[in-house]
Chain A
Amino acid sequence: MAESMKNYHDSLKEALEDSFLRKTLDTFAVQYKVNRANIFADMNATELINEIADHKDKAMLKLDELYQQFVEQASKKGLHIHRASTAQEANDIICNIAKENNVKKIIKSKSMTAEETHVNHALEANGFEVVETDLGEWIIQLRHEGPTHMVMPAIHLSRYQVADTFSEATKQDQDSDIGKLVKVARYELRAHFADADMGISGANFAIADSGTIGICTNEGNGRLTTTLPRVHVAICGIDKIVPNIEDALRIIQVLPRNATAQAITTYVSWISGSSNCEINSDKRKIFHLVFLDNGRTSLLKDPKCGQALRCVRCGACANVCPVYRLVGGHKMGYVYIGAIGLILTYFFHGHDRAKNLIQNCINCHACKDICAAGIDLPGIIQEIRARLVEEEGSPISSTLLAKVMTNRKLFHTLLKFGKFAQKPMTSGKFVRHLPTIFAGDQSFRSLPAIASESFRDRFAKLNASAQGTPKVGIFAGCAQDFVYPEQLESAVKILQAKGAGVAFPYEQSCCGLPLQMMGEREAAKKTAKANVDAFSNSNVDYIVTLCASCASHMKDHYTELTGDDPSYKDKTAKYLSKLIDFSSLAKNVLKVTEDDFINRGAKVAYHSPCHLCRGLGVTKEPRELIGLAGEYVPTAEEDVCCGFGGTYTMKFPEISSTVLALKLKNVEEGSKDGIKPELLVTDCPGCIMQLRGGEHKHGDKVKVQHISEFLGHNLKSK
Chain B
Amino acid sequence: MPGNPGTIDASAVELFKAKAKLATIVIAEVKDLAAAIDYAIEVTEKSELGKLMPTKAGTIPPSDPNRKKTLTAPSISDADYAVLAQKGEAKGFTMIRSGLRQYLAGIDVGFTVADIGIAETATSACENDSEDYRLASMISETHVLALAKSKIVKTSYDAVSYLKEAFGREHNYTSFISGPSRTADIERVLTLGVHGPLYMHIALMEE
Interface residues of A (CB under 8 A from B): 24, 28, 77-78, 133-136, 139, 152-155, 157-159, 162, 178-179, 181-182, 185-195, 207, 210, 212, 218-221, 223-224, 226-228, 245-246, 249, 252-253, 260, 263-279, 284
Would you call A153 and B169 a contact (CB within 8 A)?
Answer: no
Q: Is the CB of A159 within 8 A of B53?
A: no
Q: Choose from A28, A153, A253, A273 the contact partner of B172 (Cβ within 8 Å).
A: A273
Residue of A nearest to B132 (CB): A278
Closest Cβ–Cβ distance, residue A197 to chain B (whole Å) = 12
In whole angstroms, how far apart are the Cα atoms of A193 and B193 in the complex?
A: 16
A34: shortest Cβ distance to chain B, in Å? 14
Task: Choose one: A182, A194, A223, A284; the contact of B57 (CB below 8 Å).
Answer: A194
Instruction: With CB as the reference atom, state the residue of chain A lying closest to B177.
Output: A267
Sample (18) of A-B pairs whose CB atoms are under 8 Å apart: A24-B188, A134-B185, A135-B183, A152-B188, A154-B185, A159-B187, A186-B195, A191-B53, A218-B184, A219-B196, A220-B181, A220-B194, A224-B138, A263-B23, A264-B176, A273-B171, A275-B173, A278-B99
State A561–B129 Cα separation when bound (angstroms).
55
Confirm or deny: B73 has a beta carbon within 8 angstroms of a beta carbon on chain A: no
Asked if A275 and B187 make an inter-chain contact with CB atoms under 8 angstroms apart, the answer reads: no
Q: Is the CB of B186 within 8 A of A264?
A: no
Does B167 contact A210, Cβ atoms closer than 8 Å? yes
**In the complex, are the beta carbons of A28 and B175 less than 8 A apart?**
no
User: When the two chains form the complex, which single residue of A178, A219, A224, A263 contacts B19, counting CB atoms closer than 8 Å?
Assistant: A263
The distance in angstroms between the C-alpha atoms of A225 and B119, with both chains bound, is 28
Inside 8 A of A186's CB, which chain B residues have their CB? Answer: 53, 193-195
Task: Give the interface SS of chain B, mostly helix, strand, loop or mixed.
Answer: loop
Q: Does B59 contact A (CB under 8 A)?
A: yes
Q: How far is the CB of B174 from chain A (nearest CB, A)?
A: 4
Chain A residues near B132 (CB-CB < 8 A): 278
Of all chain B residues, which has the CB nearest A158?
B187
Q: Looking at the complex, which one of A158, A220, A264 makes contact with B121 (CB distance below 8 Å)? A: A264
Q: What is the interface of chain B, defined by CB distance below 8 A to chain A?
A: 19, 22-23, 53-60, 99, 101, 104-106, 120-123, 129-132, 134-135, 138-139, 156-157, 160, 163-164, 166-189, 191, 193-197
Residue of B nearest to A195 (CB): B57
From B53, B171, B186, give the contact of A135 (CB < 8 A).
Answer: B186
Q: In chain A, what residue has the closest Cβ to B168?
A: A210
Residue of A nearest to B54 (CB): A187
A272, B167: Cβ atoms closer than 8 Å:
yes
Please indicate the chain B residues that have their CB under 8 angstroms from the CB of A187 in the complex: 53-55
Task: From known contacts A193-B104, A223-B138, A279-B101, infer whether A182 and B194 are also in contact, taking CB-CB under 8 Å.
Answer: yes
Q: How far is the CA of A321 from the CA of B138 in the complex (A)?
A: 36
A221 to B183, CA, bound (A): 11
Q: Which of A220, A270, A276 contacts B163 (CB 8 A)?
A: A270
In the complex the two chains form, is A178's CB within 8 Å of B175's CB?
no
The reply to whether B182 and A263 form a contact with Cβ atoms under 8 Å apart is: no
A245 adjacent to B164 (CB under 8 Å): yes
Is there an interface contact between A275 and B171, defined as CB atoms closer than 8 Å? yes
Q: 18 other contacts beyond A139-B185, A191-B55, with CB at 8 A cut-off?
A: A135-B194, A152-B188, A190-B57, A194-B55, A219-B183, A219-B195, A220-B138, A220-B197, A223-B134, A228-B101, A245-B160, A245-B164, A266-B182, A268-B123, A270-B176, A272-B166, A278-B99, A284-B171
Question: Would B194 and A219 count as touching, CB distance under 8 A?
Answer: yes
CA distance A139 to B187 in the complex (A): 12
A residues near B104, Cβ cutoff 8 Å: 190, 193-194, 228
Complex Cα gap A193–B58 (Å) = 11
Q: A249 contacts which of B138, B156, B168, B195 (Cβ < 8 Å)?
A: B156
Q: Look across to chain A and name the residue whose beta carbon is closest to the beta carbon of B100.
A: A278
CA distance A284 to B171 in the complex (A): 9
**Bound state CA distance, A245 and B57, in angstroms?**
38
Most-contacted residue by chain B among A224, A252, A267 (CB, 10 A): A267
Residues of A within 8 A of B197 (CB): 220
When distances are taken between beta carbons in the complex, the residues of chain B under 8 Å from A157 are 186
Question: Of A154, A227, A272, A273, which is within 8 A of B186 by CB?
Answer: A154
A191 in contact with B131 given A135-B194, A153-B185, A159-B187 (CB within 8 Å): no
* Residues of chain A within 8 A of B122, CB atoms compared: 263
Chain B residues, CB < 8 A from A189: 195
Residue in A159, A224, A260 whose beta carbon sits within 8 Å of that of B195 in the complex: A224
Q: Which of B59, B178, B187 is within 8 Å of A194, CB to CB? A: B59
Contacts of A223 in B (CB 8 A): 134, 138, 175, 196
Known: A139-B185, A194-B57, A220-B181. A271 touches B191 (CB 8 A): no
Residue of A nearest to B176 (CB): A268
* Given A220-B196, A249-B157: A227 and B182 interface contact (C-beta under 8 Å): no
| Distance in angstroms between the alpha carbons of A271 and B170 in the assembled complex | 11
Report A173 CB to chain B, min CB distance, Å.
Answer: 16
- Do residues A227 and B135 form an inter-chain contact, with CB atoms below 8 A? yes
Q: Measured between alpha carbons, how far is A223 from B170 in the docked complex, in Å?
A: 20
Cα–Cα distance between A194 and B58 once the two chains are bound (Å) = 8
Q: Does B55 contact A181, Cβ atoms closer than 8 Å?
A: no
Give bound CA distance, A221 to B181, whole Å: 9
Query: Which residues in B have their C-beta under 8 angstroms from that of A249?
Result: 156-157, 160
Query: Which chain A positions have C-beta within 8 A of B121?
Result: 263-264
A178 to B160, CA, bound (A): 39
> What's the Cα separation between A249 and B172 when bound, in Å?
18
CA distance A194 to B106 in the complex (A): 11
- Residues of B with C-beta under 8 A to A271: 172-173
Q: What A residues does B195 contact at CB under 8 A?
A: 133, 186, 189-190, 193, 219-221, 224
Given contact pairs A264-B178, A266-B178, A190 touches B53 in the complex (Cβ within 8 A): yes
Chain B min CB distance to A592 (Å): 45
How far is it, in angstroms, between the C-alpha of A608 and the C-alpha of B103 when the chains are bound? 58
Distance in Å: Cβ of A163 to nearest Cβ of chain B: 9
Chain A residues positioned under 8 Å from B183 (CB to CB): 135-136, 182, 218-219
Report how far A189 CA is from B122 CA in the complex, Å: 28
User: Is A276 a contact of B171 with CB atoms below 8 Å?
Assistant: yes
| A272–B172 touching, CB < 8 Å | yes
B101 touches A78 (CB 8 A): no
Q: In the complex the two chains form, what is the Cα distance from A207 to B167 in whole Å?
A: 10
Which A residues touch B171, using CB under 8 A? 77-78, 272-276, 284
The 4 closest A-B pairs by CB, nearest first: A220-B196, A191-B55, A136-B185, A191-B57
Across the interface, which residues of B come within 8 angstroms of A133, CB to CB?
195
Q: Please, how many angstroms separate the alpha-carbon atoms of A136 and B188 in the complex?
A: 10
Contacts of B185 in A (CB 8 A): 134-136, 139, 152-154
**Residue ID in chain B nearest A256 by CB atoms:** B121
Closest B-chain residue to A76, C-beta based?
B170
Instruction: Let me know if B160 and A277 touch, CB within 8 A.
Output: no
Chain B residues with Cβ under 8 A from A192's Cβ?
A: 57
Q: Please, how many angstroms separate the alpha-carbon atoms of A263 and B24 in the complex?
A: 13
Q: Which residues of B contact A134 (CB under 8 A)?
A: 185
B74 CB, nearest partner CB in chain A, Å: 11
Instruction: Compute how far the CA of A133 lies from the CA of B194 in the bound complex, rounded to whole angstroms.
Output: 10
B22 to A, closest residue via Cβ: A263
Contact B170 A77 (CB under 8 A): yes
Tell me whether B101 and A181 are in contact (CB under 8 A). no
Nearest residue (CB) in A for B197 is A220
Q: Is the CB of A273 within 8 A of B188?
A: no
**Across-interface contacts of A267 in B (CB, < 8 A):** 175-178, 181, 196
